[in-house]
């Protein structure tokens, strides 16, 4: 009986050694289960480990998904793979494959965010370039906990999404992308600029609101101090701003030619109906527009109208404004 027990124990030990050896081969031998050439893999947000390995098998990255699944289950943490776009090198072991997917830097995408985009336009831009849903970005940019965490008092991050050219991880979350842009604004809006704003009685929200209107009115950096002076002069005289871009924002539509009936839209953003500044920014201004509000031109201007050639005519009086409107129409009719 003792000899039988000893035989069984030795046999079991031998089987365990063989199983461990087989497992070691499955996990650690290079090229046993992986492709002989580089393969691509896209991991979208929300994909589970089984789904990811199945995708690797379909794409030819692995020959037998169960070997990779086994390796992922026995090595702590290796079944947690981040979203991203990967180019998998050839001839890897199951261990090195999963380690690569766990530690490889995220694929980066270079994105230019032009000055003056609304946050909904930035959401669409991210959706076209990143693995991101535009509605999820909008939700993140309006979430109260996100706004509080980033010191934003308004109802959304509109105005704080600082334009520029940046590199984003392809799998960035909406919160990560929005927070990155807010940090760029915070980096630009330093203590010296805050001191200038305070000396002019401008809160952060009012500064960005004015800057967003300036941004929406003219693409010419050289004109922005002049446009800023017009709106600051009107505020000092308690005149309504009557800024067309605020009406466009109130309508919530894609940019188009405004009609007189549009000027009566019932919205706190309609500066034809409501005095003072609108509740918040109407787009995301760049540095030139922000600096223009902080350092406006010293002018008596209260009005401006497009020249029809990309710039604007400025006037101090209604009579001068009417004359400029005439010049605008003459310019259009002569084309």
pLDDT in tens, 215-268: 999 999 999 999 999 999 999 999 999 999 999 999 998 888 899 899 999 999
58-77: per-residue pLDDT in tens?
A: 999 999 999 999 988 888 88
148-201: per-residue pLDDT in tens?
A: 999 999 999 999 999 999 999 999 999 999 999 999 999 999 999 999 999 999
Helix/strand/coil for 159: coil
- Could you write out the three-class secondary structure of 230-295? HHHHHHHCCCCCCCHHHHHHHHCCCCCCCCHHHHHCCCCCCCCCCCCCCCCCCCCCCHHHHHHHHC
Element (H, E) at 210: helix 204-217
52: alpha, beta or left? (left if phi > 0; alpha if psi -120 to 50): alpha
Q: Which of 1-10, 277-286, 297-306, 322-331 has the lowest mean pLDDT?
A: 1-10
Domains and CATH numbers, the chain: 23-103 (3.30.1490.480), 108-188 (no CATH), 201-301 (no CATH)
- Could you write out the three-class secondary structure of 115-129? CCCCHHHHHHHHHHH
Length of the chain: 335
Q: How many other C-beta atoms lie within 10 A of the C-beta of residue 77?
A: 8
pLDDT band at 282 (very low <50, low <70, confident <90, very high): very high
pLDDT of residue 6: 58
89-109: per-residue pLDDT in tens?
A: 999 999 999 999 998 888 899
CA torsion through residues 24, 30, 36, 38, sign: positive
104-148: per-residue pLDDT in tens?
A: 888 899 999 999 999 999 999 999 999 999 999 999 999 999 999
End-to-end CA distance of the chain: 111
Structure-block tokens of residue 188: 């630009």
């Amino acid at each position: 009986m003792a000899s039988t027990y000893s035989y069984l124990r030795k046999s079991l030990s031998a089987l365990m050694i063989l199983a461990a050896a087989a497992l070691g081969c499955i996990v650690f031998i290079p090229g046993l289960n992986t492709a002989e050439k580089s393969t691509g893999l896209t991991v979208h947000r929300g994909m589970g480990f089984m789904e990811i390995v199945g995708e690797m098998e379909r794409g030819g990255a692995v020959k037998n998904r169960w070997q990779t699944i086994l390796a992922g289950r026995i090595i702590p943490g290796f079944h947690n793979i981040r979203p991203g776009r990967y180019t998998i090198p050839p001839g890897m072991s199951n261990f090195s494959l999963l380690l690569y997917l766990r530690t490889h830097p995220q694929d980066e995408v270079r994105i230019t965010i032009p000055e003056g985009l609304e946050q909904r336009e930035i959401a669409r831009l991210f959706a076209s370039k990143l693995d991101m849903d535009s509605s999820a970005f909008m939700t993140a940019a309006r979430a109260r906990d996100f706004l509080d965490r980033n010191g934003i008092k308004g109802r959304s991050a509109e105005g704080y999404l600082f334009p520029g050219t940046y590199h984003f991880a392809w799998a960035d979350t909406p919160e990560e992308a929005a927070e990155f842009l807010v940090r760029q604004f915070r980096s630009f809006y330093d203590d010296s600029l805050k001191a200038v704003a305070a000396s002019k009685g401008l809160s952060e929200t009012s500064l960005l609101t004015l800057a967003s209107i300036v941004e929406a009115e003219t693409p010419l950096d050289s004109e922005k101090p002049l446009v800023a002076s017009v709106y600051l002069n009107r505020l000092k005289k308690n005149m309504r701003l009557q800024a067309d871009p605020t009406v466009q924002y109130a309508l919530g539509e894609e940019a188009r030619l405004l009609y007189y009936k549009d000027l009566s839209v019932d919205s706190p953003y309609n500066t034809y109906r409501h005095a003072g500044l609108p509740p918040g920014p109407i787009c995301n201004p760049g540095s030139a527009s922000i600096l223009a509000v902080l350092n406006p031109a010293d002018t008596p201007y209260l009005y401006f109208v497009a020249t029809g050639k990309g710039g604007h005519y400025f006037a101090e009086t209604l009579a001068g404004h009417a004359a400029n409107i005439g010049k605008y129409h003459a310019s259009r009719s002569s084309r």
